[in-house]
Amino acid sequence: MSGDDHRQPDEAEATGEQLPDLTLVFAPSWARQAPDATRHVAEAAQPEERRDRRGPGAARHGAGWPGGEDRGARPRRDFDSRGPRREGPGGDRRGQRPAFRPAARPEPDATPRHESAPLPIEIKLLPEQKALNAIIRRIQTSRRAYPMREVVRLFLANDAAMLVRIEPLKEAADAPPLFQCRVCGMPALSEEEVREHLLRRHLEDFYDVEEVEGDAPGGNFACVARCGLSGELLGPPNHHSFGLRVQEMLRTRYSHLSEEEYRGRIEMVRDPAVVEQWREANKRRKLYRRKTAGTEETAAADETGEAAETGEAAETGEAAANAAPATPPAPAPAIERHAAELQFAREFVPQQIGSARHLVCPAAATQQAPNRRLAAAIRNVRADEGRRPGSLFFALRGAFRHRGLHLFRTGDARGPEFVMAHAPVSLDATHAVSEVRQVIGFIAENPSCARQTLIAALTPGGDVAAQAHLSSQINWLVEKGHLIEFFNGTLSLPAEFPAFKATPARSAETVSDAPEA
Residue 359, pLDDT > 50, answer: yes
Residue 257, pLDDT > 90, answer: no
Q: What is the DSSP letter of 194?
A: H
Q: Rounded to an integer, what distance in angstroms lies between the CA atom of residue 124 and that of residue 302?
A: 38
Q: Which band of pLDDT confidence, cut at 50, 70 and 90, is reported for residue 462?
A: confident
- pLDDT computed for residue 101 by the predictor: 54
Handedness of CA 355, 357, 362, 366 (dihedral sign): positive
Q: Which band of pLDDT confidence, cut at 50, 70 and 90, is reported for residue 76?
A: low
Q: 398-416, pLDDT tens digit by residue?
A: 999 999 999 999 999 999 9
- pLDDT computed for residue 303 by the predictor: 41
Q: In this structure, which amino acid lies at residue 318?
A: E
Dihedral angle, C-alpha 455, 458, 461, 463, nearest 10 °: -50
- pLDDT computed for residue 510 by the predictor: 40
- pLDDT computed for residue 415 by the predictor: 92
Q: Are 193 and 434 in contact (CB under 8 A)?
A: no
- pLDDT computed for residue 184 by the predictor: 94
Q: 207-224, pLDDT tens digit by residue?
A: 998 888 777 788 888 899
Long-range contacts of 89-95 (CB under 8 A, 24+ apart): 89/33, 89/36, 91/29, 91/30, 92/28, 92/29, 92/30, 93/28, 94/30
Mean pLDDT over 359-372 rounds to: 92
CA 304 to chain centre: 47
CA angle 18, 22, 23 (to 5 degrees): 130
Q: 284-305, pLDDT tens digit by residue?
A: 778 889 987 544 444 434 444 4
Quick check: pTM over 0.85?
no
For the chain, list the domains and their CATH numbers. 17-50 (no CATH), 121-185+353-396 (no CATH), 215-282 (no CATH), 424-492 (1.10.10)
**Percent helix, strand and coil across the chain, each to the nearest 5:** 45, 15, 40
**Least confident interval from 81-90, 238-247, 417-426:** 81-90
Above pLDDT 90, what percent of the chain? 40
Handedness of CA 177, 178, 180, 186 (dihedral sign): positive
Helices (H), 116-256: 129-142, 148-156, 191-201, 241-252
Residue 509, pLDDT > 50, answer: no
Q: How far is CA 466 from CA 48, 438, 447, 462, 469, in A?
A: 114, 13, 23, 8, 5
